[in-house]
Structure 1
């Protein structure tokens, strides 16, 4: 699963981008989307998140719903599609969620889905491969793909 962080707060223009928190909408959307994903029967073994505050807050809402821990990875902050995929692949887990940022998220989702997809804030792309391993993810179309949005 690839998730873009929920809507962030731009009210304080003096804040560094890395330190922007979620706004009211983001704080509402994250737990709601987490519950929606959980109702679909999807629960990650590993939840990776960018070190940015908005990604951490989004990941915390998902972690609460999925009853899992958040693993913070600095390299996921404004990461490229390859960095995001490499981080997920490195876990070795069968079910992984990565919470990070655009434009990397939209680019990776579009690449894996083999169609143009825009990851709005708090969107979660759910990919399923029934066979193969992480080495096949970039070379084999998914058996299923769903985009969950607020």
Structure 2
């Protein structure tokens, strides 16, 4: 079985006009919500084999804050450039090329693509993912390249206001 957690980055700041989109940091709410979601995952006794993130500052910061709560080593967060500004087919390619030795993976990305990607794979409809929301899907397969809606099970959707 493969377990995929899809997370939209936490709330970012628009206060810095001189920064590019990729450089935007988390705002105060984002810095609170990301660890709270990490704690929510920890309460479910979730252990990750791999955490992958967009290189955008807001996504990578979200990943780092979640990793801390899950006691996942910060230096093992894998930054995947293709996640930033990804299309749904791009994300599908990223996931299908994950190492098969990793059974439990968290991917931190951006909307609207992360919600569209969740809906591509989920047998149940996923609402528009709010900032810091997480969807968990489980797949009855042994290789990431074999994951598909037909072998998927929707497990949960969680968000900071829940």
What TM-score, normalized to structure 1? 0.91
CA drift at 1:54: 0.2
Match of residue 76 from structure 1: 83
Q: How many residues align?
A: 150
CA 1:130 to 1:42, structure 2 compared with 1: closer, same or farther past 3 Å? Answer: farther
1:147 aligns with 2:157: yes
1:123 aligns with 2:127: no
- Give the Cα–Cα distance (whole angstroms) in 2 for the partners of residues 4 and 73 of structure 1: 15
- Give the Cα–Cα distance (whole angstroms) in 2 for the partners of residues 122 and 116 of structure 1: 14
- Write out the 4+ residue segments of structure 1 that deviate beyond 4 Å after TM superposition: none
Q: Which has the higher mean CA deviation after the structures are superposed, 86-95 or 67-76?
A: 86-95
- Give the Cα–Cα distance (whole angstroms) in 1 for the partners of residues 141 and 85 of structure 2: 30
Residues 37 and 148 in structure 1, CA contact (< 8 A), matched pair in contact too? no
- Give the Cα–Cα distance (whole angstroms) in 1 for the partners of residues 61 and 13 of structure 2: 12
- Residue 24 (structure 1) aligned to one of 19, 28, 35: 28
- Give the Cα–Cα distance (whole angstroms) in 1 for the partners of residues 40 and 66 of structure 2: 10
CA drift at 1:132: 4.6
Aligned ranges 1:40-119 → 2 under 5 Å: 40-68=44-72, 69-91=76-98, 92=100, 93-114=102-123, 115-119=125-129
- Give the Cα–Cα distance (whole angstroms) in 1 for the partners of residues 40 and 106 of structure 2: 14
- Give the Cα–Cα distance (whole angstroms) in 2 for the partners of residues 110 and 139 of structure 1: 9
- Give the Cα–Cα distance (whole angstroms) in 2 for the partners of residues 119 and 55 of structure 1: 14
Give CA deviations for 1:44-96 in whole Å, capped at 9, x if unaligned.
20100000000010000111122222111111112112222322232222111
Residues 113 and 142 in structure 1, CA contact (< 8 A), matched pair in contact too? yes
